[in-house]
């Protein structure tokens, strides 16, 4: 089956067979692929963890234009730039520049700079598109420069200087933030990176937008190799220096302001560990994961991968930085559960919803039910139905109405939630799940359930 997003580049395409990912290399890309493999560039990039490794596959009936087929190292969970934290986008940008810079030393370039070509394996940013390399022509400009600015420079600057939430523009604009829009939003900023790569760039694009109508032959810009390298290195230096100093969000210090004691938290962790052992889940989704505390308990108790969903960009940032240091198989994901990543792009199939990328063995949903049911007015039955559609096993915390966190949510509004009770919860979830285990958290009034989806659900 052909990957739906793999259609732009005529050099080849991605397809799946029996759950294995393959990449076909087309005849027209034979020379470039050979140069990548034989020049030493492939060894260098894979050794440095910048490019996914692959093995050659003898088989597989390449289509007419096929030259060969490779099987790349599998990325456990594909993520998209609008689901990344600031440092993830920054690291993806730096990886792109490092690869292009290294390629120049081997007489090659990166011919595209799409953020979607970068994926995280154990929180290391890697290029997954092995066919992104082209020969360097002496004096040529970087063909992917415009794309690099739209996919990386514009969203990073918008997140830093205007608002972290503007990263979500990437969800609207699949080929990166239009530079005229970025320039308008950043109009009060005049540092070198913004001035040169956003403001000047946007003006130049506007001025030459209609060139195709008046000019016949393509015009070329000549850039010496020294200048080309200087540009890439200066971009990398400026991006390296971008930080989120001084930016604050609602949830960033969540665990300092919870309403339960250290003992109750430790008890919660014990109950989770015990329930995970009983369930034997290999892949876990942790909804409302904050900095990934419970995802890590899942990894310590038999899970091979934990995807940590959270709505707060700085919580995801902390989780990513911790995961990057430890090399754990944790996937931090910026995600609004009440408005999840949709299918976008051509035919709504280029980028797909999370459940199309992986079906977890188990979902952990701690301290989240009251946000869904009360802040978002979701009936418990709808929440149960949704979770039953995602996972066969659920470890979920019920937070009663008497809890101070729920009281805070209800303080400014009418209580229109007569069914939000422990009995109501058990009834709603009982329609889809069997209760395998139920454990109150002493000293908190909350209860943790391990639920198993019934076969007919």
Partner 1 sequence: MYLDPGFGSMLIQGIVAALAAGGAYLILMRKKIAAFFQNRKAVKNAEENQQNDAETEK
* Residue 100 interacts with partner 1 (CB under 8 A): yes or no: no
Nearer to partner 1, 3 or 385 (CB): 3
Residue 436 makes contact with partner 1 by CB under 8 A: no
Q: Measured from the CB atom, is 229 or 278 closer to partner 1?
A: 229
Q: φ, ψ for residue 262 (rounded to 5)?
A: -60, -40
Nearest residue (CB) to partner 1, 229 versus 457: 229
Region of residue 306 (left: phi > 0; alpha: psi -120 to 50; beta: else): beta
Backbone angles phi, psi at 237, to 5 degrees: -65, -45
Task: Rank residues 196 and 421 by Cβ distance to partner 1 and give the closer one.
Answer: 196
Identify the residue among 83, 91, 112, 286 touching partner 1 (CB under 8 A).
112
The residue assigned the tokens 């394996």 is 121
How near is the Cβ of 201 to partner 1 at its closest, in Å? 5
Going by C-alpha positions, the residue among 116, 77, 22 that lies closest to residue 351 is: 116
Beta bridge partners of 20: 17
How far is residue 432's CA from residue 37's CA, in Å, rounded to a whole number?
52
User: Segment contacting partner 1 (CB under 8 A): 65-73, 89-97, 200-208, 301-309?
Assistant: 200-208
Would you call the peptide bond into 60 cis, given omega within 30 degrees of 0 as the criterion?
yes
- Candidates 222-230, 285-293, 296-304, 414-422; binding stretch for partner 1 (CB under 8 A): 222-230
| Residue 28 sits in the site that holds partner 1 (CB under 8 A) | no
Closest by CA to 193, choosing from 149, 223, 135, is 149
φ, ψ of residue 437 in degrees (nearest 5): -160, 145
Asked if 88 and 125 touch (Cβ cutoff 8 Å), the reply is yes
Residue 227 binds partner 1, judged by CB under 8 A = yes
Cβ proximity to partner 1, 101 vs 401, nearer residue: 101
Binder of partner 1 out of 30, 165, 220, 454 (CB under 8 A): 220
Of 34, 230, 266, 431, the residue at the interface with partner 1 (CB under 8 A) is 230
Quick one: CA torsion of 88, 362, 345, 68, rounded to 10 degrees? 80
Residue 184 CB, nearest distance to partner 1 (Å)? 17
Task: Locate 424 and state its tokens.
Answer: 């109501």
* Between 155 and 392, CB nearer to partner 1: 155
Is 231 a binding residue for partner 1 by CB under 8 A? The answer is: yes
Q: Does 111 bind partner 1 (CB under 8 A)?
A: yes
Locate 8 and state its tokens.
Answer: 């732009």
Task: Using the structure block, give the residue that is written with the tokens 């440092």.
Answer: 87
Interface residues toward partner 1, by CB under 8 A = 8-11, 111-112, 134, 141-147, 149, 196-197, 200-201, 203-209, 211, 218-224, 226-231, 233-235
């Amino acid at each position: 089956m052909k990957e739906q997003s793999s259609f732009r580049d005529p050099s080849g395409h991605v397809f799946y067979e029996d759950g294995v990912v393959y990449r076909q290399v087309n005849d027209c890309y034979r020379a470039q692929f050979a140069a990548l493999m034989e020049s030493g560039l492939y060894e260098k990039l894979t050794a440095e963890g910048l490019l996914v490794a692959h093995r050659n596959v003898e088989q597989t009936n390449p289509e007419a234009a096929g030259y060969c087929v490779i099987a790349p190292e599998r990325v456990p969970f594909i993520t998209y730039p609008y689901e990344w934290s600031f440092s993830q986008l920054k690291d993806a940008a730096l990886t792109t520049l490092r690869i292009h810079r290294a390629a120049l030393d081997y007489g090659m370039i990166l011919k595209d700079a799409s953020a979607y070509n970068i994926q995280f394996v154990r929180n290391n940013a890697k290029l997954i598109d092995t066919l992104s390399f082209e020969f360097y022509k002496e004096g040529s400009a970087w063909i992917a420069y415009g794309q690099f600015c739209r996919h990386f420079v514009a969203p990073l600057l918008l997140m830093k200087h205007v608002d972290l939430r503007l990263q979500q523009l990437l969800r609207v604009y699949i080929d990166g933030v239009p530079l005229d829009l970025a320039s308008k939003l950043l109009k009060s900023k005049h540092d070198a990176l913004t001035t040169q790569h956003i403001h000047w760039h946007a003006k130049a694009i506007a001025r030459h937008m209609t060139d195709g109508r008046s000019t016949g032959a393509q015009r070329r810009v000549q850039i010496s190799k020294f200048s080309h390298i200087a540009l890439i290195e200066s971009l990398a230096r400026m991006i390296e220096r971008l930080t989120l100093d001084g930016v604050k969000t609602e949830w960033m210090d969540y665990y300092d302001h919870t309403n339960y004691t250290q003992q109750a938290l430790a008890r919660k962790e014990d109950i989770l560990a015990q329930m995970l052992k009983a369930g034997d889940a290999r892949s876990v989704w942790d909804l409302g994961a904050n900095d990934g505390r419970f995802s890590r308990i899942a990894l310590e108790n038999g899970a091979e991968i934990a995807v940590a969903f959270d709505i707060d960009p700085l919580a995801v940032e902390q989780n990513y930085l911790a995961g990057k240091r430890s090399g754990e198989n944790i996937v931090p994901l910026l995600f609004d559960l009440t408005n999840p990543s949709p299918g976008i792009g051509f035919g709504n199939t280029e980028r797909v919803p999370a459940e199309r990328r992986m079906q977890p063995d188990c979902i952990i949903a701690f301290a989240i039910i009251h946000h869904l049911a009360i802040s978002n007015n979701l009936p418990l039955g709808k929440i149960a139905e949704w979770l039953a559609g995602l996972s066969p096993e659920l470890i979920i915390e019920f937070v009663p109405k008497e809890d101070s966190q729920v009281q805070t949510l209800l303080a400014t509004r009418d209580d229109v939630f007569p069914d939000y009770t422990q009995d109501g919860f058990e009834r709603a979830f009982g329609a889809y799940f069997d209760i395998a285990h139920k454990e109150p958290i002493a000293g908190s009034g909350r209860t943790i359930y391990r639920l198993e989806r019934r076969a007919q659900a």
